[in-house]
Amino acid sequence: MTKVLVLYYSSYGHIETMANAVAEGARTAGATVALKRVPEIVPEAVAVKAGYKRNHDAPVATVAELPDYDAIIIGTPTRFGNMAAQMKNFLDQAGGIWARDALVGRIGSVFTSTGSQHGGQESTILATHTVLLHLGMVITGLPYSFKGQMRMDEITGGSPYGASTLADDGNGGDRQPSANELEGARFQGRHVAELAAALVAGRTRVGEIA
């Protein structure tokens, strides 16, 4: 059975909500899904003062387990148009995996969250793609077959690069992922799982023929 890892970092819960939707979508494609987060590296006192969410149901992932999966879907909020330091710190520890080519040919995908409508959603996803490409992964995003990303009747996240959400309501208040954004996340999870299953089946077939 295809194994998918949804690996995320979430300061305030928006990415965590999206991660659950991504995992839900991957499961509908028949994949075995692990939902895990990267460690928090912000000092406890700073996290408390900033109001970070500190109770998470998802276990903490290890870098060593990454090669166990056929696909890895990364969720990270944007920090000045790039991935959060917590996620970068985690991925920066994957040098040994890179040296062994352990992720070459696996599916990689990314989703994100920003505080504003133009807060760097696409640049964050594309910057994360760079890391996945260095690891030899096959990149997939959120194809236009998900028609929700073309909506003009509401403000919504989502682009061909990956699912996304907006965390600010425009008045400095909290905005949770919309129904359309969550559906985009589910679509991406299902899409990645289906592609990973096809790759796994192809490799198995080639092995049988050989």
3-state secondary structure 34-62: EEEECCCCCCHHHHHHHCCCCCCCCCECC
76 annotated as belonging to a binding site for a ligand = no
CA–CA–CA angle 125, 84, 142 (5° rounding): 20
Ligand-binding site membership of 129 (annotated) = no
Residues in Cβ contact with 17 at an 8 Å cutoff, skipping those fewer than 6 apart: 165, 176, 177, 182
**Per the structure block, which two tokens stand in for 64?**
């060593």
Separation CA 81–CA 100 (nearest Å): 30
79 annotated as ligand-binding: yes
Residue 95 amino acid letter: G
Using DSSP, state whether 68 is helix, strand or coil: helix
Any known ligand binding at 10? yes
CA distance 200 to 162: 22
Q: Binding site annotation covers 107?
A: no
Would the annotation count 11 as a binding residue?
yes
The response to whether 80 counts as a known ligand-binding position is yes
Q: Is 78 annotated as a binding residue?
A: yes
Is 73 annotated for ligand binding?
Answer: no
12 belongs to an annotated ligand binding site:
yes
CB 90 within 8 A of CB 38: yes
| Residue 190: closest CA among 77, 10, 18, 21 | 21
* Residue 116 labeled ligand binder: no
Q: Which two tokens stand for residue 100?
A: 């062994």
Binding-site residues for FMN, in ranges, read 10-15, 78-80, 134
Binding-site residues, in ranges, read 10-15, 78-80, 98, 134
Binding-site residues for NAD(+), in ranges, read 12
Binding-site residues for substrate, in ranges, read 98
